Structure 1
Amino acid sequence: MGEQPPYLRTADVLRRRVAEQEWTSGDRLPSRAQLAEELGVGDNVIRRAQELLISQGVLEGRAGSGTYVAEPRERLRMVRSQHREQRGGSPYRADMAALGRRGAWESRTEAKVPAPPEIAGRLGLSEGDLCVRTSYEFLADGRPVQLSISWEPYDLTAGTLIVMPEGGPYAGKGVVERMAEIGVAVTHAVERPEPGEADADEATLLGVPRGALVTRIQRTYYSDKGQPVETADIVVPAALCEIVYEVPVNP
């Protein structure tokens, strides 16, 4: 393996100084020029190192003032569990209520959207088959904490009361409960989490810096017949939320 880039080594140095309380919450860091001279690196290295630590919630930038050690922030605990699907209603709203938060979301649905290749593969469709696509911005006490883009096969729900996930009498009920209304029993979901960085659009929606660390979760729900009925790409900002998986154990 090659040597770490200078900005990563510099970020480690700055992070260690914060951890060792050389600088504490609310302290203003020396200027970039001062840090560059002290550490023997260029201003650009300091800038990239600080941007990384800002994206991780260690530092915060204040326009026209400088860079400061961030105040500790309580991260939301996002539990991924089979039990969240057994409560009825919205699993997300129930999750937030359990944390003493007000859960809500904003959404935009488009019907009859041709499935791109990856989505078609995840849903067992042919490329270009029609889907219902819904974009979500999930809020906790009015603050954005999660994004999701959901895809459902149009032929599965066309002509039913659940064809629009956020419209009609079953709006906001969650995939499991909605599918049950048309006789489709959803038995399990498969999730694949991986680390990533927020792109420009995600950063704007979540209120985090571009390039901030996020967890991307690719989730697909399956029926008792093994048919994929919904797939989604979920984005959770690491600085605001921690993701915990609850695994059932049969005695």
Structure 2
Amino acid sequence: MLLNYQQKQTALNEADQKCENIFIIHGLFGSLSNLAGIATALQEYQQIISIDLRNHGNSPHSPSMSYQEMANDLFELADHLNIENFSVIGHSMGGKVAMTCALQRPERINKIVIADIAPITYPNKHSDVLAGLKAVAKQQIKSRQSADLILSQYVKTAEVRQFLLKSLQKKGEHYQLQFNLEAIIANYDSIRGWPAIDNVFNKEALFIKGGNSDYICADNQNTILYLFPKAKAKVIENTGHWLHAEKPKTFNRLISQFFN
């Protein structure tokens, strides 16, 4: 599956410095615009490719979305762009895709940055969100305000609703969710899970944790180091799961230092 992508060329002359190709992957319910800040921050020295995962943004829809399939989508796009070796930055679900890429084809991956996710199976954290989105999808939505009113009955945090409704696009007289909600619901157990891959990635890896988030905890350390022996960890204090939005300067600085 050929994904939708946005490519940002570095301002540097390639003769001056060999640039890294870096793919940037958003999380569940997101799109390539979510991590635009780090894409811009890295663009001066690197070649950036931001993508919409399958069933998200402007990428094609599919009834299945295993991590192996989503990783293969990334390699297909890299082949399409004639890129053999590259690095990957991924947040949340996108971080799991990045880790899967590194374990499936380590010879093609240079480095990875994983934002607030671990290679484990998580409990169901999205039952209210999925119920609210289903309620929105059932209605003929004529304004963002009406969608927010429906969603607020299920999701109390305004910032979360604002993020989810970024994917609300107007088509004709009504608004529709851009991501493939039916496929996400059908594959949710796989999305919160972790594929069994018998391999290790013995290259540089950076895991960035939100200080207030429970997505990465001390109990995950051995699992991370088993799969990624050269992993390093950084914590951004006073941030939750959306660390790239809550502390963008710190997030961008840590990743820029890692690559530059």
- Tell me the TM-score normalised to structure 1 length: 0.24
Is the radius of gyration larger for structure 1 or structure 2? 1
Question: When you count helix as a share of all residues, which structure comes out higher?
Answer: 2
Question: When you count strand as a share of all residues, which structure comes out higher?
Answer: 1
